Amino acid sequence: MTGFPWQIGDALLAADLNAAIAGGGAVPAGGSIQAAIDALPATGGEVRLSPNTTYVVTTAIASSKPNVRLSASDWSAVIQRGPALAGTLLQLMGAGCLIEGMTFDGNGSVNTSGQAEVQISGANSRITNVQVINSAGVIMVAATGAGCRVDHCTLTGMGTSLSTQRGYGIWAINHVQVFIDHNKITGTGIDGIGVDGPGSIVDANYIKGCHCWSGSAGAQTAIYPYVGADAGTVFSNNFIGQGGSVTSGALEAGGNNLTISGNTIVNQYGGAIGVDSGHGITITGNTIVNVGLDGSGAQDGITIQPGVTDFSITGNRVGDDATPPTMRWPIIVQTGASDRYAITGNVLAPNTDANNRIVDGGTGVIKVIQDNAGADTVVPYAVSGTTTQLYSGSHVQRLQNSGTLAITSIAAQNTMRGTVKILLPNAAFVFTAGNNINNTVTATPNVPLIMVCDDLGKWWVR
């Protein structure tokens, strides 16, 4: 082995596939590929497919030998699923295997019992420059071996809604590190990419029209949490275009120490980035334009579910230039026990909806929300008789409430700086704690008060 773990050295025994084809014929038997692999020595070797040739596979091809290299000069070499074949079409289970340069044709068969068109399950194996088409099975490409890589492949799904939850693009669910990069994935039934391995890298992929299944809401890509693992996945520099059904968003993610950076996400039916669980999460440098095309009015740019902690959302651009706009909130922390986070330096533009703001429902107090261009911060409390905490470090906050007398007390934490806009229709409220705030103010019905806190903690009404 040389270089990266997925690189195969040149000193591999070559087996002439054509010599294994008995009787010739216009359509070679897929079993000839199995025969050629079986003829390799125990240490592995190379099997080359002939160009402009379709190999019809009626019995699944599998091998546990290491260092098997299955290659072709171009995509005119086709491995096609026979119409009666269930199960995985081709699987290499040995370490250090390589599949490159050919087409896998699922033949449109609804493969109800199968797992994949092509799978690598041995450590440090690789699938590169492969095309997968006409797959109506469960998975197009499966990478389940530690250190496996899938790169520079083109996966074209059926682009239609299947009756059951199947049709994944690249499926790497085995709790091991994998590398998925520079692939083009379109029209899959469910996720274009699904990964759960600690330390995995998903980089520079093109995903569009995926998650065609409309049985429930979901996303075109997914990072699934693996309980107990702290080595984070990196999801970076990917382009995610419009999904395949009105239930599809861009990315659903969970787990610890994730990095979601530099991605471009446009025209989503659902939301763009949703984090369901975990801690130590960084969301930075992403560009998100136009979400909520499903018309529900409840889709957001970046969503943090309750209980996610120790995260930062920085340097992102989140906007909606549709007419009328369809995005609800650019950034929202759902109401719940989230704490220890920073939402800073984001640009919320283009933005044609004056009501779009950062919504902060995290109940923790160790947090900073500041320096976000084009955004107020909405603190969504509306419980009568409760005290709403304003936390330090926030330059602009906006208490939004459509009820009457719903908030009666507001307390400042530490030293507030900047501007607080308070919109409390018909509500009388009292500043009750700290920083020289002991002033009673009665709001004029339906007229916002603007209060400014100076560097000494003094509050001024204007």
* Position 357 confidence tier, pLDDT thresholds 50, 70, 90: confident
User: Domain of 5?
Assistant: 1-157
Angle at 35 between CA 152 and CA 11, to 5 degrees: 55
Q: What is the mean pLDDT of the chain?
A: 80
**Is residue 93 included in any domain, yes or no?**
yes
Cα–Cα distance for residue pair 375/330, rounded to 1 Å: 9
pLDDT of the residue at 3: 33
* Position 378 confidence tier, pLDDT thresholds 50, 70, 90: low
Which of these, 236, 324, 246, 310, lies nearest to 273 by C-alpha position? Answer: 236
Cα–Cα distance for residue pair 461/399, rounded to 1 Å: 15
Spell out the SS3 assignment of 260-276: EECCEEECCCCCCEEEE
pLDDT of the residue at 134: 92
* Position 321 confidence tier, pLDDT thresholds 50, 70, 90: confident
Choosing from 157, 180, 200, the residue where a domain stops is 157
What's the average model confidence in pLDDT over 327-338? 92
Which of these, 168, 325, 239, lies nearest to 251 by C-alpha position? Answer: 239
Question: What residues form DSSP beta bridges with 252?
Answer: 222, 274
Instruction: Choose between 367 and 77: higher pLDDT.
Output: 77
Ramachandran quadrant class, 30 (left: phi over 0; alpha: psi -120 to 50; beta: rest) = alpha
Portion of the chain with pLDDT greater than 90, in percent:
56
Which of these, 402, 352, 389, 393, lies nearest to 371 by C-alpha position? Answer: 393
Choosing from 136, 157, 178, the residue where a domain stops is 157
Instruction: Choose between 85 and 379: higher pLDDT.
Output: 85
pLDDT of the residue at 400: 44
Residue 61: pLDDT over 90: yes
**Is residue 389 included in any domain, yes or no?**
yes
pLDDT of the residue at 373: 82
Spell out the SS3 assignment of 149-216: EEECCEEEECCCCCCCCCCEEEEECCCCCEEEECCEEECCCCCCEEECCCCCEEECCEEECCCCCCCC
Least confident of 80-89, 95-104, 178-187: 80-89
pLDDT of the residue at 112: 60
3 state DSSP class of 35 = helix
What CATH number does residue 67 fall under?
Answer: 2.160.20.10
**Is residue 245 included in any domain, yes or no?**
no
Confidence (pTM): 0.82
pLDDT of the residue at 270: 96
Give the sign of the dihedral formed by CA 205, CA 206, CA 212, CA 215. Answer: positive
Cα–Cα distance for residue pair 460/450, rounded to 1 Å: 9
**Is residue 84 included in any domain, yes or no?**
yes
**Is residue 64 included in any domain, yes or no?**
yes
Instruction: Choose between 430 and 116: higher pLDDT.
Output: 116
pLDDT of the residue at 427: 44
Enclosing H/E stretch for 116: none
Choosing from 102, 129, 157, the residue where a domain stops is 157
Give the sign of the dihedral formed by CA 324, CA 345, CA 400, CA 271. Answer: positive
**Is residue 164 included in any domain, yes or no?**
no
Give the sign of the dihedral formed by CA 106, CA 108, CA 111, CA 116. Answer: positive
Cα–Cα distance for residue pair 362/367, rounded to 1 Å: 9
Portion of the chain with pLDDT greater than 70, in percent:
72
**Is residue 243 included in any domain, yes or no?**
no
Residue 442: pLDDT over 60: no
183, 154 in Cβ contact below 8 A? Answer: yes
- Identify whether 330 is preceded by a cis peptide bond (ω within 30 of 0): no
Which of these, 212, 105, 126, 221, lies nearest to 170 by C-alpha position? Answer: 221
Segment 404-441, tens digit of pLDDT: 334 444 544 444 444 455 444 434 444 443 333 333 34
Instruction: Choose between 257 and 12: higher pLDDT.
Output: 257
Residue type, 206: Y
How many structural domains comprise the chain? 2
pLDDT of the residue at 403: 40
Tokens representing 32? 């000839």
Residue 32: pLDDT over 80: yes
pLDDT of the residue at 301: 96
185, 207 in Cβ contact below 8 A? Answer: yes
Segment 259-316, tens digit of pLDDT: 999 999 999 999 999 999 999 999 999 999 999 999 998 999 999 999 999 999 999 9
**Is residue 58 included in any domain, yes or no?**
yes
pLDDT of the residue at 379: 52
